[in-house]
Amino acid sequence: MEISEAELRRKLDLLLRTGSILMESAADTSRIMRTMKRAAAFLGLDEKYLHLYINWNVLMVNYSDEQHSFSKFQRCEKHGINLTSISMISKLTWRAIKEDYSLDQYEAALNEVKATPRSFTPWQVAIGGGFACGGFCIQFGCDWPAFFYCSLAAILGFRLRMFLPSKGCNNYVAIGISAFVATLIAWLTSFLSLNPSIANSLPDFMHSATPWHPLMACALFIVPGVPLINFVSDMLDGYIEVGMVRALNTLLMVLSMAFGIAFAIQVCHIDNFVTDLTMTPHHEYWEFAIAAAVSAMGFSTIFSIPRRLLPAVAVGGIIAVCFRNFVNLGPSNGNIGLDMGLSIGSLAGSALISIIVIKARHWFHTPHQCITIPSVIPMVPGVLMYRALFAFIDMHGVVGEVTVGMNNAIKASLAIICIALGVAIPNVFFRRFIADNRKRKLFNMLVERKKKNGEFVDLHEVEIK
């Protein structure tokens, strides 16, 4: 195919813009690579000449043979989580090939994806994220009055978390402040049940038998579950560098949260509640199901998921969490289940929903990640993560403190790895089958496109000025 140098560079630019939207929307590296190669096929760029480099802040594409070389770079600056954008880009690359888009049409579609507003307003996100933390609190054993107290503290803390960066505050400082404020509010709500003069003046439905539990869950809107899962997924797929950057960013966020919570605990003079307060629930499974659905849908608002997928994510959260609890809990802790522990339970829950979504993604016409990740996020052991960090921050030289911290850290790490493994099951075990189907579909579409537009770009036929 004979084209000008300017047109080739435009194609490389469109390819990089496609990848940057995915990176800035928190797609895993394997998905970014697959989608960019599909976009390159649409643009007529031969894969044997194409070299892609994906990093956290920079994407690079090089199109070269033994005589010619064209390179372009693209910075990725505003990282967030936007599952709607990931879904739209995936559909766009397939549609562009099927409907034989022109470059102008493809560029206009990319601009439309970039300009699409998030699915939920800031207050909707704050309320959704707040109730998601309340759902977590139920999973840790709190009663329903404490659910609402936890949700209230999380809503106000999360809204502050979104407000501070808009005024120029450093992201990690904003996390620490919002965790401090949310924990402080949760502590204040405990007086509604613990202070006799206040409790006697309130109706019975406002009394909580678990007034301290909201302090455990009120700041979990900060825990970066998607980057954690992407970190493990990237490491499994061999994208070590990007995975390590995601891991370090996650560690800094959780460390900021732990400092905020630790400062609030010191201000409130609470003695060691993070190690003494039990996390073992004793609810009916219908209560677990309601809490899981609330958490899954609440976190979906943070991830800007397409609104039409909220019911699917709610059902996914119920399946994942209830199956995890059945495998995890058992007679040893006064529950019904197999009593196999948190790690095995997390693997079982995430694997089950991941396998179901392999089929369900065709019903909803959306990428696997857009349903699976919001469904498994309620299983991320955020409390164990900040309990581990808090134990190290709050050391006083007492025997056993390091053991407590390491115990929580190891439990959290194993659970996260198991969740990510479960989510990655399609890639780990069905990679060849899925990849062959995708390649076959792509090949058939490209054959039809080549009949109209000719072969791939040949570097020997590029008009260089």
Residue 169 and residue 101 share a domain: no
Q: Please tell me whether residue 439 adopts helix, strand or coil conformation.
A: helix
Q: Is residue 441 part of a domain?
A: no
Residue 416 and residue 283 share a domain: yes
In the listed set 63, 85, 117, which residue is the last one of a domain according to the structure? Answer: 117
Q: Is residue 462 part of a domain?
A: no
Rounded-to-integer distance, Cα 319 and Cα 317, Å: 5
Which residues on neighbouring strands pair with residue 70, listed in sequence order? 63
Element (H, E) at 178: helix 171-194
Residue 295 and residue 349 share a domain: yes
Could you give the number of structural domains in the chain?
A: 2
**Residue 54 CB: number of other CB atoms within 10 A?**
21
pLDDT at 269: 77
Domain that holds residue 16: 5-117
In the listed set 70, 99, 117, which residue is the last one of a domain according to the structure? Answer: 117
pTM of the model: 0.85
Locate 214 and state its tokens: 């909201």
Residue 139 and residue 113 share a domain: no
Quickly tell me which residue has 């197999």 as its tokens. 338
Those residues with Cβ within 8 angstroms of residue 6's Cβ, 6 or more apart along the chain or in another chain: 465
Q: Strand ranges (DSSP E) for 260-335?
A: none
Query: Do 133 and 221 form a contact (C-beta atoms < 8 A)?
Result: yes
The CA-atom distances, in angstroms, between 181 and each of 218, 283, 382, 394 are 10, 29, 18, 19
Locate 194 and state its tokens: 């613990």
Q: Is residue 465 part of a domain?
A: no
Digit-by-digit pLDDT tens for the chain (465 residues) are 567 788 888 999 999 999 999 999 999 898 899 899 889 888 888 888 889 999 999 999 998 877 888 889 999 888 889 999 999 998 999 888 888 888 999 999 999 999 999 989 999 999 999 999 999 888 888 889 999 999 999 999 999 999 999 888 999 999 999 999 999 999 998 888 878 888 788 788 788 888 888 888 888 888 778 888 888 888 888 899 999 999 898 888 888 888 888 888 888 877 655 556 677 777 888 888 999 999 999 999 999 998 999 999 999 999 999 999 999 888 887 788 888 888 899 999 998 998 888 878 778 888 888 888 899 988 887 777 767 777 776 666 666 667 777 887 888 888 888 888 888 776 656 555 555 556 666 556 655 555 555 555 544 444 444
Q: Is residue 275 part of a domain?
A: yes
Residue 77 and residue 149 share a domain: no
Residue 186 and residue 98 share a domain: no
Q: Is residue 342 part of a domain?
A: yes
pLDDT at 293: 94
Query: Do 219 and 257 form a contact (C-beta atoms < 8 A)?
Result: yes
Q: Is residue 454 part of a domain?
A: no
Rounded-to-integer distance, Cα 377 and Cα 294, Å: 12
Rounded-to-integer distance, Cα 350 and Cα 324, Å: 8
Residue 215 and residue 98 share a domain: no
Which residue type is seen at 66?
E
Residue 210 and residue 68 share a domain: no
Q: Is residue 176 part of a domain?
A: yes
Question: Vertex 57, ends 54 and 59: CA angle to 5°?
Answer: 35
pLDDT at 295: 92
Residue 223 and residue 177 share a domain: yes
Residue 233 and residue 101 share a domain: no
Q: Is residue 451 part of a domain?
A: no
In the listed set 117, 149, 177, which residue is the last one of a domain according to the structure? Answer: 117
Residue 370 and residue 264 share a domain: yes
The per-residue b/e assignment along 85-114, b for 16 or more CB within 10 angstroms, e otherwise, is bbbbbbebbbebbeeebeeeebeebbeebe
Rounded-to-integer distance, Cα 194 and Cα 211, Å: 8
Locate 166 and state its tokens: 């808009």
Residue 96 and residue 187 share a domain: no
Whole-angstrom Cα Rg for the chain: 24
